[in-house]
């Protein structure tokens, strides 16, 4: 949504945390902290496309006859959230191009929370690896043949082609203090944002229609308190948020939901994640030193709801600019009245638009 336009651009820049705390990760051989497994269901709210088939790029990814969401896709989605919320490095910026505060970690004994949780690899000769402490399975669909539809989609490679759109809202500069996020588009439950440029750039994707459920599991080992709280929050998010989009005075209300997969700017990929069970493993020292069977602690139903509320309280009560802006981006409101679109070529060719930025939210 450039200034003075009625439509909304599909994305916005979210400011990141001001500081990053780094320390040595607690690894699994220490036999300390929290280890366990989280059982989850993910359901798409708008059409969903995950590619990867070598011989047919139009089809949703299938493995052993099942439509799947790779664990790597889920990990990337969750890591991006953890980076913004928890105060993580910019994992793709190894040279500190924009701001050295957020330069990607490069020492396994001094890591931000995101690299401690999800892993990292040093660069250069003799590089060491921290494997991370979170392991995510592929998500397998419950349905044998989910309903699909062929969509025309148009995407280009990422890049700051109109620099004012990529400035950090709080500073007005291109300084690496913000991350790109996409709005939900609830109107697109059976459609995608229509292609706007020449037809030769349009591709076709056979996306799964809303309502398909996938199941996956997350194993975690040696997570310290803050790391566990962050993991549960980026999965569960919040079920009730009230926000007002500042410039337009548009009130939105609903749960926070995730975005996943291909064509997110076109309205695809909105999903909800449900936590079905959290299982804490018995202490490693007990498991590996006892000849008898050890008991895990399992949380389900009401006990699970209470646990999630306790673990996420820190973030739910956070009123920082980062969290307020994130809630505005991730709220899923069925009655969202906005129209989303990209400016046409002639808009960019008009010199008077050269310095127009996106409206603040």
Residue 264, helix vs strand vs coil:
helix
Helix axes 225-236, 301-316, angle to 10 degrees: 100
Give residue 193's pLDDT. Answer: 82
State residue 176's pLDDT score: 81
Written as six digits, the tokens of 195 are 């292609």
CA distances from 350 to 103, 207, 342, 355 (A): 36, 36, 15, 11
Residue 358 covered by a domain: no
Copy the structure tokens of residue 350.
């008009």
Q: Which domain holds residue 313?
A: 11-335
pTM confidence score: 0.93
- Give me the tens of pLDDT residue by residue for the chain, a chain 361 residues long: 577 788 899 999 999 988 899 999 987 666 678 999 999 999 999 999 999 877 778 899 999 889 999 999 999 999 999 999 999 998 877 776 667 778 899 999 999 999 999 999 998 888 999 999 999 999 999 998 999 999 988 766 555 568 888 888 888 888 888 899 999 999 998 888 876 654 556 788 999 999 999 999 999 999 999 999 999 999 999 999 999 987 768 999 999 999 999 999 999 999 999 999 999 998 766 655 555 567 889 999 999 999 999 999 999 999 999 999 999 999 999 999 999 988 887 888 888 887 888 877 8
Residue 281: inside a domain, yes or no?
yes
Give a yes or no: residue 357 inside a domain. Answer: no
Among candidates 22, 32, 21, 74, which has minimal Cα distance to 223? 32
352 inside domain: no
Q: Are 271 and 42 in contact (CB under 8 A)?
A: yes
Q: How many domains does the chain have?
A: 1
Please tell me the predicted confidence (pLDDT) of residue 211.
96
235's enclosing H/E stretch is helix 225-236
Q: Domain for residue 23, yes or no?
A: yes
Predicted pLDDT of residue 288: 58
DSSP codes, 271-338: EEEEEEEEEEPPPHHHHHH-SSPPPPEEE-HHHHHHHHHHHHHHHHT--SHHHHHHHHHHB--TT---
SS (H, E, C) 28-86: HHHCCCEEEEEEEEEEECCCECCCCCCCCCCCCCEECCEEEECHHHHHHHHHHHHHHHH
At 266 the three-state DSSP class reads: helix
Q: Residue 340 falls within a domain, yes or no? A: no
Task: Identify the CA nearest to 62 among candidates 151, 153, 138.
Answer: 138
φ, ψ at 100 (rounded to 5°): -70, -15
pLDDT at 153: 83
Residue 360 lies in a domain: no
Does any domain span residue 301? yes
Whether the CB-CB separation of 37 and 221 falls below 8 Å is answered with no
- Contact (Cβ atoms closer than 8 angstroms) between residue 61 and residue 141: no
């Amino acid at each position: 949504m450039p200034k003075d336009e009625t439509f909304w651009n599909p994305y916005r820049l979210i400011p990141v945390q001001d500081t990053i705390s780094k320390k040595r990760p607690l690894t699994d051989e220490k036999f300390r902290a929290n280890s366990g497994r989280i059982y989850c269901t993910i359901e798409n709210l708008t059409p969903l496309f995950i590619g990867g088939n070598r011989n047919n790029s139009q089809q949703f990814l299938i493995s052993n006859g099942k439509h799947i969401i790779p664990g790597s896709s889920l990990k990337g989605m969750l890591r991006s959230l953890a980076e913004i919320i928890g105060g993580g490095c910019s994992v793709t910026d190894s040279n500190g191009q924009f701001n050295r505060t957020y330069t990607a970690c490069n020492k396994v004994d001094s890591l931000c929370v995101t690299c401690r949780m999800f892993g990292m690899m040093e660069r250069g000769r003799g590089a060491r690896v921290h494997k991370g402490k979170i392991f995510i399975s592929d998500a397998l669909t419950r349905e044998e043949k989910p309903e699909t539809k062929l969509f025309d989609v148009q995407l280009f490679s990422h890049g700051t082609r109109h620099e004012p759109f990529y400035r950090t809202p709080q500073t007005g500069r291109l300084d690496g203090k913000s991350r790109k996020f996409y709005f939900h588009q609830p109107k697109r439950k059976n459609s995608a944002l229509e292609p706007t440029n020449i037809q030769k750039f349009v591709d076709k994707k056979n996306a799964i229609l809303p309502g398909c459920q996938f199941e996956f599991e997350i194993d975690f080992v040696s997570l310290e308190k803050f790391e566990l709280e962050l993991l549960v929050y980026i999965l569960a998010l919040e079920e009730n948020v009230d926000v007002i989009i500042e410039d337009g005075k548009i009130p939105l209300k609903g749960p926070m939901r995730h975005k996943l997969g291909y064509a997110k700017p076109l309205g695809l990929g909105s999903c909800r994640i449900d936590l079905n069970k959290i299982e804490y493993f018995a202490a490693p020292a007990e498991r590996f030193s006892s000849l008898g069977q050890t008991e895990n602690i399992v949380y389900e139903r009401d006990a699970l709801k209470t646990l999630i509320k306790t673990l996420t309280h820190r973030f739910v009560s956070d009123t920082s600019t980062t969290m307020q802006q994130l809630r505005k981006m991730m709220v899923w409101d069925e009655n969202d009245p906005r129209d989303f679109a990209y400016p046409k070529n002639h808009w960019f060719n008009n010199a008077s638009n050269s310095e127009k930025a996106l409206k603040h939210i």
